[in-house]
Amino acid sequence: MSMLELHEVSKTYGDGAAEVRALDGVSLSVGEGSMVAVMGPSGSGKSTLLTIAGTLEQPTSGQVTVGGQELRGMSRNDKARLRRRTIGYVFQDFNLLPGLTAAENVALPLELDGLRAGRARAAGLRALEQMGLANRASAYPDQLSGGERQRVAIARAIVGERRLLLADEPSGALDSANAEAVLHLMRDACKDGGMAAVVVTHDAQLATWADRTVFLRDGHMTDQRVAESGTGVRPRYGPGSDASSASGEAPAGGEAAVLSTAPSGSDAGENR
Ligand code: ADP
């Protein structure tokens, strides 16, 4: 089943001479257990696509469906519930609350949704465990490495019954070993939990973790590449890297195999 469906979605900001078409007739379908990478130059509409998929903005035209529910016509309360229960967000700069432990940070969305503290904590610990961080549950964010913090942020985004994971440059603040680990873990979380994920990245190598890469340019989707089966050889995490404890080595091949070339329009080096 398609968890996220965008049909001919356009988004225009401003009007008259100041009009900007951030998205122009974009269609995208992301199924359960599938991870799609979004690449494109700065200003091409990547963040707009994520905010619309995350119900944080409304498209000017077109249709958006999350988990089979069409967003148009949905009340603000229903959208808020969808965000609380169904959608997980991961940002480049982690956004963990410094006064809460890793476990408390991860359990927080469930507590805010009214789940009892004990059950929220148990679900939070399970999500941390999935990220290979069960032994860091009591640590505060400033006691964690950058890679660990991002893994806590991913645990918070997949905790509970979330179905759609949206990530904006989730590895942008990490070194390459941790960046690989983060993408790898997100992909495993998708496969294991049947979530759909949309990940914005400027790094073509990291995009190889996705099942599919789409490219945006001036609000248009210019290309869609499906990863070929069985062609990929991914780097392995070195001993001693904080990524090495995440979940072992990279899978060889599989449906999310290496894309051979970076898109000419990719904004490598951009670090938003
Ligand atoms: P990207 O994430 O690829 O850098 P964005 O989605 O942030 O691109 O932006 C796409 C275009 O829409 C850019 O030209 C940007 O300036 C414009 N834009 C984005 N958000 C707003 C906004 N709130 N108001 C006006 N223009 C915006």
DSSP secondary structure string for all residues of 154-218: HHHHHSTT--EEEEESTTTTS-HHHHHHHHHHHHHHHHHHT-EEEEE-S-HHHHTTSSEEEEEET
Q: Which atom of ligand 1 is nearest to the CA of 270?
A: 4
Residue 121 lies in a domain: no
Residue 7 lies in a domain: yes
- Which residue CA neighbors atom 27 of ligand 1 most closely? 13
In this prediction, residue 242 has a pLDDT band, given cuts at 50, 70 and 90, of very low
Using the predicted structure, report yes or no on whether residue 206 has a pLDDT greater than 60.
yes
CA-based nearest residue to 52, from 5, 100, 99: 5
For residue 169, the model assigns a pLDDT of 92
How far apart, in whole angstroms, are the C-alpha atoms of residue 187 and residue 35?
6
212-217 and 220-226 strand pairing:
antiparallel
For residue 256, the model assigns a pLDDT of 33
- Which residue CA neighbors atom 14 of ligand 1 most closely? 43
Number of domains in the chain: 1
Residue 112 lies in a domain: no
Q: Domain residues for 8?
A: 2-86+163-247
Tell me the per-residue pLDDT of 82-137, one tens digit each, with 9 for 90 and over.
999 999 999 888 899 999 999 999 999 999 999 999 999 999 999 999 999 999 99
- Which residue CA neighbors atom 18 of ligand 1 most closely? 22
Least confident range from 37-46, 49-58, 88-97: namely 88-97
Using the predicted structure, report yes or no on whether residue 175 has a pLDDT greater than 50.
yes
CB 103 within 8 A of CB 128: yes
Pocket of ligand 1 (CB under 6 A): 13-14, 20, 22, 40, 42-48
Residue with tokens 């900007």: 20
In this prediction, residue 178 has a pLDDT band, given cuts at 50, 70 and 90, of confident
Residue 91 lies in a domain: no
For residue 1, the model assigns a pLDDT of 80
Residue 101 lies in a domain: no
CATH number at residue 56: 3.40.50.300
In this prediction, residue 228 has a pLDDT band, given cuts at 50, 70 and 90, of low
Phi, psi of 203 (to 5 degrees): -105, 110
Q: What H or E segment, with its residue span, contains residue 91?
A: strand 87-91
Indicate left, alpha or beta for 264 from its phi (over 0: left) and psi (-120 to 50: alpha). Answer: alpha
For residue 6, the model assigns a pLDDT of 97
Indicate left, alpha or beta for 160 from its phi (over 0: left) and psi (-120 to 50: alpha). Answer: left
Residue 266 lies in a domain: no
Residue from 10, 13, 19 whose mutation best tests the ligand 1 pocket (most atoms within 8 A of CB)? 13
**Measured in angstroms, how far is the CA atom of residue 115 from the centroid of ligand 1?**
36
Residue range 213-223: mean pLDDT, rounded: 93
How far apart, in whole angstroms, are the C-alpha atoms of residue 109 and residue 107?
6
How far apart, in whole angstroms, are the C-alpha atoms of residue 157 and residue 91?
10
Least confident range from 66-75, 116-125, 228-237: namely 228-237
- Which residue CA neighbors atom 24 of ligand 1 most closely? 13
In this prediction, residue 246 has a pLDDT band, given cuts at 50, 70 and 90, of very low
In this prediction, residue 54 has a pLDDT band, given cuts at 50, 70 and 90, of very high
Residue 182 lies in a domain: yes
Residue 143 lies in a domain: no
Average pLDDT, the chain: 84
